[in-house]
Structure 1
Amino acid sequence: MEKYHREALEVAKAISRIIALALNLEVDFFDRQEMLGKPIANLRLLHYEGRVSDPMKGIYGAGAHSDFGLITLLATDDVFGLQICKDKDAKPQKWEFVAPLKGAFIVNLGDMLERWSNCIFRSTLHRVVGNGQERYSIAYFVEPNHDCLLECLPTC
């Protein structure tokens, strides 16, 4: 588990470097000690029972939400269930499945990144819809250090 945590954090840092470049920041902007130098990173093992969801009745594996932090790395099995809403402000919301890809991470952007980037990056509204099959995933939530000052980034 420790090895997974360490390697997942390296993936998260690599993604943060891409985000920094996209925001016209120095490539190592998020590598600073007060940011991802000593991050808060939590690993959560998720199991969804083999039940069928009924969104019309409000029955889900996990209801619609966005994650709080900077990013979430999600490793999944090969069972469909994760849905995202690309425009969370749309009425009605349109949901689409994210195809599981063996050996790959799905990257959800968090509310913190949305606020930091002044909505240039939007957090990922997502939910899980059960299809009758058991489903497993591993969520790796990444947030900056407790001492990090959160304010609009200088380029945003």
Structure 2
Amino acid sequence: MSSSKDLPPFPSDVPTAPIARISLSDLLASKPPACASALEACRTHGFFYLDLTATTIGSSLLSASERLLQISHQVFDHELEYKTKHDLVKGVSLFGYKRAGTVKSTDPNLRPDTTEFFNVAKDHVHGVAASRSYPSEITENKALFQSFTKDAHEVGMLILGELAQQLGVEPKAFQDKNIFTKPSGDHCRLTHKYAHVSDRHAIGLPSHTDFGSITILFNWLGGLQIQSHDPAKAGEWEYVKPLPGCAVINLGDAMVTFTNGVLKSAKHRVVPAPGAQGDVDRYSVVYFVRPHNEALMETCEEFRHLGEGGRSRGSLSRRGGVLTAGSG
């Protein structure tokens, strides 16, 4: 597909998650209904749509995501031999190329995933740390990656600031854990999942939660699913239907740790897209905000009285006996 506009429509007869649609314009204006809706979404489903239209930064992100989509088509069209020259090194760094075929224990059927991706470090494109090798399609578009990561991080900080306000804690309580100019695991991810014309039971990515603070997703095809929040549908999976002009927002495990479980990082997975969309390769563009390396992975003081509700995982190191986010 040459453009997101060429895609078949999302079918109307599949179960979709009833997640909130919140206007970035309203969050920028700190309108109480929008801010309250964001908090409720992050305490329940852990996901919401962020309508980026009618704002300068939102329009910039939408335009950049479309350009990154085109770069994704180009970079994933290379032979595997070329892509693997830029392999990430598991256990050492999460930046670089991850090929399809990973098996995770979170998938009960132990199916190899069918998603490949490139993780492009925020630190590399902004000169916070020395870069590694990336395909030319990425290095030659450094300015685009710089603007996208900067804008996406700014939107993430806006959301975290509003959540702090709603929870009655210091406005920068969460923002100060995710400082853009400090070394961190923040990255832009370009993903590609092969179409599943013959195998509708294949898994794109198995069930998981994100490690970081907040995830900002741009996708054009179905396939993303989250577990239902309806008690009558406990354990059932529902599609998150892509909406034009919107990003999909979800929190990661770090925010569960910082708030002692008050905010949620919901389980999600990627499966073959429903209907005719399953016959098309799926691409997405994601920005992951992760706590900067020095950030202490501990519950904020205001939430410690709630008991042991938080959790943390990922690439962590210790400082004075306390876990820090460490390098990715």
Give the TM-score band, short-chain normalised: 0.7 to 0.9
Hey, which bits of structure 1, 4+ residues long, moved more than 3 A?
Answer: none
- Alpha-carbon RMSD across the aligned residues, in angstroms, is 2.1
User: Aligned partners of 1:140 and 1:24: how far apart in 2?
Assistant: 27
* Partner in structure 1 of residue 282 of structure 2: 135
Residue 92 (structure 1) shift: 5.8
* Aligned 1:98-109 pairs, distance under 5 A: 98-109=240-251
1:96 to 218, 232, 238: 238
Q: Which residue of 1 aligns with 2:151?
A: 7
Higher helix share: 2
Answer yes or no: is the 8 Å Cα contact 2:254–2:291 preserved in 1. Answer: no
For structure 1, list consecutive stretches of 5 or more residues without a partner in the other structure.
none
Q: SS of the counterpart of 2:186?
A: strand
**Among candidates 148, 162, 165, match of residue 18 of structure 1:** 162
Cα deviation code 1:25-61 (max 9, x no counterpart): 12222333xx22235311110111111532xxxx311
Q: Which residue pairs with 2:298 in the alignment?
A: 151
**1:124 shift after superposition:** 1.7
Aligned twin of 2:194: 49
Distance in 2 between residues matched to 1:103 and 1:50, nearest whole Å: 24
TM-score normalised by structure 2 residue count: 0.42
1:6 partner amino acid? K
Aligned residue pairs total 148
Cα pair 1:76 1:102 within 8 Å, conserved? no
TM-score between the two structures when normalised by the length of structure 1: 0.85
Describe the shift of the 1:80–1:91 C-alpha distance in structure 2 as closer, same or farther (beyond 3 A): closer
User: Percent of pairs identical after alignment?
Assistant: 35
Does residue 81 of the first structure (1) align with residue 240 of the second (2)?
no
Q: Which has the higher strand share?
A: 1
Aligned mates of 1:86, 1:73 — CA distance in 2: 20
Gaps of 5+ in 2: 1-144, 304-328
1:66 maps to 2:218: no
- Give 1 or 2 for the bigger CA radius of gyration: 2
Distance 1:13 1:150 in 2: 18
Task: Give CA-to-partner distance per residue, 1:45-88, whole Å, 9 cap, x none.
Answer: 0111111532xxxx3111111111111111111x111101145x
Alpha-carbon shift at residue 91 of structure 1 (Å)? 9.2
The 5-angstrom pairing of residues 22-41 of structure 1 reads 22-32=166-176, 35-37=177-179, 38=182, 39-41=184-186
